[in-house]
Chains A and B, each alone.
Chain A
Amino acid sequence: MSTDSKNEMIMKKSDGPAAASTSEQITKAPDGRPPEEQPTWRQDFPIDWPQDHHVARRDFTKFLVLTSFAFVVGQFWIAVQNFIRRRRSKPQMVKIASLAALPVGGAVVFKYPDAHDDCILIRTGEDTIAAFSQKCTHLACAVVPRPELNAFHCPCHAGYFDMSTGRAIAGPPKRPLPRITLKVNGDLIYATGVEVSTL
């Protein structure tokens, strides 16, 4: 008897209507040793390994199709969220600061458009002001102004954003800070809306 034929283990168990023929049920234990050298538990409960592989791959394929369906659900969830966002009314104009009270390099933190949305207004020059959402676009930590670097700094993961454009310039953030559009009326500064962009 050859070693190969010794190693073959004939499975007696049927696997329902889709069971393979007897010749297909010949299998080897994964360690390659002959059946008589196998541990008792394996002799008592032999496993048809090729059938096991077949079923495992088949079931994994089925599971992946389910995952594929989950991704489609995710796509439609984004579409629904987008629809809800479009229906939401434009944020109102809100007074946030007085120009005279804001020195060059000075910053004011305010809430806009909702009470939970922290934003920061900064006077970058004598005639220039800019306002951005204070939430870092990486993991939503609050960014702090660093006028000496002309940047906003996120202390959580060392992200940096350009102070005049809000563009991500260093660290993990990829998207710019949402910009708060401003309107200056006399001495008063008003927030009029939020501009979000990818680049």
Chain B
Amino acid sequence: MKRRFNRAQRTTIIYAMLCIVLLIVILQLWLLTATMNAFLGDDDSVIWPAAGASVVCLLLNLGLLRYLYQMERP
């Protein structure tokens, strides 16, 4: 059975989610700057692994977003 949360609980969950998403986005920003630096230095060995890591981060964020939508659904 799906558990219903009241608004205060949902706000707390959203705060936690926001913290996690923010951390992941900062990680992605770091990945992008590091990759750009490597690219400008003619080093292409990190480009695809970094792109893969960034996609994984996005998938994590999308998973959290999906949970958020499920939680908000009446």
- Identify the A interface with B (CB < 8 A): 17-18, 20-21, 24, 50-51, 53-54, 57-58, 60-62, 64-65, 67-69, 71-72, 74-76, 78-79, 81-82, 86, 137, 174-175, 195-199
For A60, what are the chain B residues with a Cβ–Cβ distance below 8 Å? 18
Task: Give CA–CA (A195, B43) in the complex, Å.
Answer: 11
Q: Is the Cβ of B51 less than 8 Å from the Cβ of A71?
A: no
What residue of chain B has the Cβ atom nearest to residue A197's Cβ?
Answer: B41
A to B CB contacts below 8 Å, 25 in the list: A18-B74, A20-B6, A50-B8, A57-B14, A57-B15, A61-B18, A61-B68, A62-B68, A65-B21, A65-B58, A67-B25, A68-B24, A68-B25, A69-B58, A71-B28, A71-B32, A74-B32, A75-B31, A75-B35, A75-B47, A75-B54, A79-B51, A81-B39, A197-B41, A197-B43
Q: Is the Cβ of B65 less than 8 Å from the Cβ of A78?
A: no
Supplied contacts A62-B65, A196-B40, 9 more A-B pairs, CB within 8 Å? A18-B73, A71-B31, A71-B57, A75-B31, A75-B35, A75-B55, A79-B47, A174-B37, A199-B41
For B14, what are the chain A residues with a Cβ–Cβ distance below 8 Å? 54, 57-58, 61
What residue of chain B has the Cβ atom nearest to residue A51's Cβ?
Answer: B7
How far is the CB of B73 from the nearest CB of chain A, in Å? 8
For B17, what are the chain A residues with a Cβ–Cβ distance below 8 Å? 61
How far is the CB of B54 from the nearest CB of chain A, in Å? 5
Q: Is the Cβ of B28 less than 8 Å from the Cβ of A68?
A: yes
For B58, what are the chain A residues with a Cβ–Cβ distance below 8 Å? 65, 68-69, 71-72
- In B23-38, the 8 Å CB interface with A consists of 24-25, 28-29, 31-32, 35-38
How far is the CB of B70 from the nearest CB of chain A, in Å? 12
How far is the CB of A150 from the nearest CB of chain B, in Å? 23
How far is the CB of B41 from the nearest CB of chain A, in Å? 3
Task: Give CA–CA (A75, B35) in the complex, Å.
Answer: 8
Task: Give CA–CA (A74, B21) in the complex, Å.
Answer: 18
Please tell me which one of the listed residues B15, B25, B37, B55 contacts residue A198 in the complex, with CB atoms under 8 A apart. B37
For A20, what are the chain B residues with a Cβ–Cβ distance below 8 Å? 6-7
